Structure 1
Amino acid sequence: MTIRGMLIKGHQVDGLVRAIGLRKSASVLLRRALRLDSPVQAFCQDHLLSIRPLDSDLFVVSQIFGNQEYEIGGGGREALNRLARLWRQSGSTPVIVDAGANAGYSTIYLRDRYPEAIVAAVEPDPQAYEMLISNCAGLDRIMPFHGALWDHDGEVALRMSDGPSWSRGVLDGGGVSSITLRSLLARIPRARLLMLKMDIEGAELEATRNCGELLCDTPCIVIEPHDFMMPGRGCLSHVFASLAGRKIDSLMNGENLILIESDLLASASAS
Structure 2
Amino acid sequence: MISWGGAARYKEKKNIKFRDLIFDIPDSLSFIYQIKEIFGDEIYKFKSKNKEPLIIDCGANVGVSVLYFKKLYENCKIYAFEADKKIFQYLEQNIKNNNANNIELHNKAIWIDDNGIYFASDGADGGHIELDSKNTQKIDSVALKNILLKHSYIDFLKIDIEGAENEVLLDCKDSLNNIQNIFIEYHQRHDKPQNLGEIINILDKANFRIYLENITKYKSPFLIESKTCEFELQINIFGRKIPK
Range into which the TM-score falls when normalised by the shorter chain: 0.7 to 0.9
TM-superposed CA distance for 1:56, in Å, is 2.2
Q: Could you tell me which amino acid in structure 1 is paired with residue 147 of structure 2?
A: L
Aligned partner of 1:166 in structure 2 is 125
Which of 192, 195, 219 does residue 234 from structure 1 map onto? Answer: 195
Mapped contact 1:198–1:224 kept (Cα < 8 A)? yes
| % same residue | 22
**Does residue 139 of structure 2 align to residue 176 of structure 1?**
yes
Is 2:237 the counterpart of 1:257?
yes
Compute the displacement of 1:220 (Å).
Answer: 0.8
Distance 2:15 2:5 in 1: 13
**Distance verdict in 2 for CA 1:110–1:230, change over 3 Å:** farther
Q: Secondary structure at the match of 1:205?
A: helix
* TM-aligned CA deviation for residue 216 of structure 1: 2.4
Written as runs of structure 1 = structure 2, the 5 A alignment for 1:1-271 is 16-17=1-2, 26=3, 28-29=4-5, 32-33=7-8, 37-53=11-27, 56-71=30-45, 77-78=46-47, 81-82=48-49, 84-85=50-51, 94-137=53-96, 138-160=99-121, 163-172=122-131, 175-184=138-147, 192-229=153-190, 231-234=192-195, 237-238=198-199, 240-244=201-205, 246=207, 248-250=209-211, 252=213, 256-263=236-243
Q: Could you tell me how far 1:210 is from its partner in structure 2?
A: 3.2
Which has a greater percent of helix?
1
Tell me if the contact between 1:158 and 1:176 (Cα under 8 Å) persists in the aligned partners: yes
* Distance verdict in 2 for CA 1:229–1:134, change over 3 Å: farther
Q: CA deviation at 1:234?
A: 1.4
Structure 1, unpaired ranges of 5+: 1-15, 18-25, 72-76, 89-93, 265-271
How far is the alpha carbon of 1:249 from its aligned partner? 4.2
Q: What is the aligned-residue RMSD (CA, Å)?
A: 3.0
Q: Give the drift of 1:212.
A: 2.9
Q: Which residue of 1 aligns with 2:221?
A: none
Whether the 8 Å contact between 2:108 and 2:140 is mirrored in structure 1 is yes
Q: In structure 2, give the amino acid aligned to 1:109.
A: Y
TM-score normalised per structure 2: 0.75
State the 1:228 CA deviation.
4.8
Q: Distance in 1 between matches of 2:180 and 2:167?
A: 21
Q: 2:239 corresponds to which letter in structure 1?
A: L
Classify the secondary structure of the residue corresponding to 2:37.
Answer: helix
**Does structure 2 retain, via aligned residues, the 8 Å contact 1:69–1:256?**
no
> For residue 175 of structure 2, what is the amino acid of its counterpart?
L
Q: Which runs of 5+ in 2 are unaligned?
A: 216-234
In 2: Cα distance, 1:179 partner to 1:245 partner: 22
User: What are the superposed Cα offsets for residues 139-177 of structure 1, whole Å, 9 maximum, x if unpaired?
Assistant: 1121111011110012011124xx552111113466211
1:230 and 1:257, CA in 2 relative to 1: closer, same or farther beyond 3 A? Answer: farther
**Mapped partners of 2:198, 2:109: distance in 1:** 19
Instruction: Tell me which residue corresponds to 2:232.
Output: none
Distance 2:85 2:10 in 1: 20
SS at match of 1:209: helix
Q: CA deviation at 1:183?
A: 3.5
Give the counterpart letter for 2:76 in structure 1. A
Q: Give the total of aligned pairs.
A: 219
What SS does the aligned partner of 1:101 have? coil
**CA shift digits 1:94-135 (9 cap, x unpaired):** 421111111111111123213443111111111111110011
CA contact (8 A) 2:10 2:26 kept: no
